[in-house]
C-alpha cells in the first residue's frame, strides 16, 4: 500500500488535525452522561463552518437531547424502513439493537433544502466537520446514514415540523454523540489501490 509505505507517522502524530482525522472511528457505545453544553456548541459551530455550494449555508441542525424525542425519530426511521420493502435495510435493523441511535445521549439531525441538488453534499461536509470536531474533544460519534430515508417519506413535512425545520427542508443525516464507553477499536485497514497519480 503505497500511501502507508510513504506515510510519515511522526508527522501525522505531531499534527493534531491529521491525528484526529485518522483516529476517528464510528463509536456505538456511549456513557450515559449528557455532553457538556460547551462541547455541543463547539461541535455545532464546526458544522456551521463547513463549505457549502455558493456559500448557501442552506442546512439546518436539530440538536436532540430529549430521550423521548430521540426514540420518536428512531421509530420514524424504523417504520419507514419497514414500509420500504428494502431487504438490506431491514436486515441491518434486525442485526442492530432496535435503535439506530443506540444509547447516544445527543443526536443531531442534519437537514437540507429539498430543491438544492447540492444539499446532500453540503450536509455531508457539515457532518464530517462535526465528527472530526467531536473526536478532537474526546467525544464519540457515528454517522447514521439511514436517517436519509425520512427525506423520501410521504410524511416528510410532519417530520420536518417536529424537527423545527424551515419550510422546504428535509432530514438527511443523523449523528450520534456521547462520551466513549470502553476501548475504541483500531481503524479498519484502508483498502489498496484507491489512488492514482498523474505527475
Applying the rule CB under 8 A, the residues between 91 and 130 that interact with its own copies are 118, 120-122, 124-125, 127-129
The residue from 13, 83, 164, 168 that contacts its own copies (CB under 8 A) is: 164
- Minimum CB separation from its own copies for residue 108, in Å? 9
Question: Measured between alpha carbons, how far is 36 from 39 in angstroms, rounded to an integer?
Answer: 5
Choices 11-19, 74-82, 152-160, 176-184 (CB under 8 A): range interacting with its own copies: 11-19
How many amino acids of this chain bind its own copies (CB under 8 A)?
Answer: 69
| Phi (first) and psi of residue 198, to 5 degrees | -120, 90
- Minimum CB separation from its own copies for residue 76, in Å? 14
Sign of the dihedral through C-alpha 45, 50, 53, 55: positive
Binding mask 24-63 for its own copies (x = CB under 8 A): x-x----------xx--xx-xxx-xxxx-x-x-x-xxxxx
Classify residue 133 as left (phi > 0), alpha (psi -120 to 50) or beta. alpha
**Grid cell at residue 105:** 445521549
Question: Measured between alpha carbons, how far is 43 from 135 in angstroms, rounded to an integer?
Answer: 10
The residue from 93, 133, 147, 149 that contacts its own copies (CB under 8 A) is: 133
* Cβ contact 84:153 at 8 Å: no
* Cβ contact 177:105 at 8 Å: yes
Residue 9 touches its own copies, criterion: CB under 8 A: no
- Minimum CB separation from its own copies for residue 100, in Å? 13
Query: CB neighbours (10 Å) of residue 87?
Result: 8
166 CB-near residues (< 8 Å, 6+ apart): 60
Interface residue list for its own copies (CB under 8 A):
3, 6-8, 11-12, 15-18, 20-22, 24, 26, 37-38, 41-42, 44-46, 48-51, 53, 55, 57, 59-66, 69, 118, 120-122, 124-125, 127-129, 131-133, 135-137, 143, 145, 163-165, 173, 187-188, 190-191, 194-199
Amino acid at each position: 500500500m503505497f500511501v502507508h509505505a510513504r506515510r510519515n507517522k511522526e508527522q501525522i502524530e505531531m499534527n493534531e488535525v491529521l491525528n484526529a482525522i485518522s483516529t476517528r472511528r464510528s463509536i456505538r457505545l456511549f456513557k450515559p452522561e449528557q455532553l457538556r453544553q460547551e462541547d455541543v456548541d463547539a461541535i455545532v459551530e464546526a458544522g456551521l463552518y463547513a463549505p457549502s455550494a455558493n456559500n448557501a449555508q442552506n442546512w439546518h441542525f436539530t440538536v436532540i437531547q430529549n430521550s423521548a424525542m430521540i426514540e420518536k425519530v428512531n421509530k420514524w426511521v424504523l417504520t419507514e424502513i419497514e414500509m420500504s420493502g428494502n431487504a438490506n435495510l431491514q436486515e441491518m435493523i434486525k442485526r442492530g439493537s432496535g435503535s439506530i441511535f443506540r444509547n447516544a445521549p445527543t443526536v443531531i439531525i442534519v437537514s437540507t433544502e429539498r430543491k438544492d441538488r447540492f444539499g446532500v453534499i453540503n450536509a455531508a461536509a457539515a457532518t464530517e466537520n462535526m465528527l472530526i470536531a467531536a473526536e478532537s474533544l474526546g467525544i464519540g460519534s457515528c454517522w447514521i446514514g439511514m436517517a436519509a430515508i425520512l427525506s423520501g417519506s410521504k410524511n416528510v413535512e410532519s417530520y420536518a415540523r417536529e424537527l423545527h425545520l424551515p419550510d422546504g427542508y428535509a432530514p438527511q443525516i443523523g449523528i450520534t454523540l456521547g462520551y466513549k464507553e470502553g476501548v475504541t477499536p483500531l481503524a479498519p485497514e484502508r483498502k489498496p489501490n484507491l489512488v492514482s497519480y498523474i505527475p
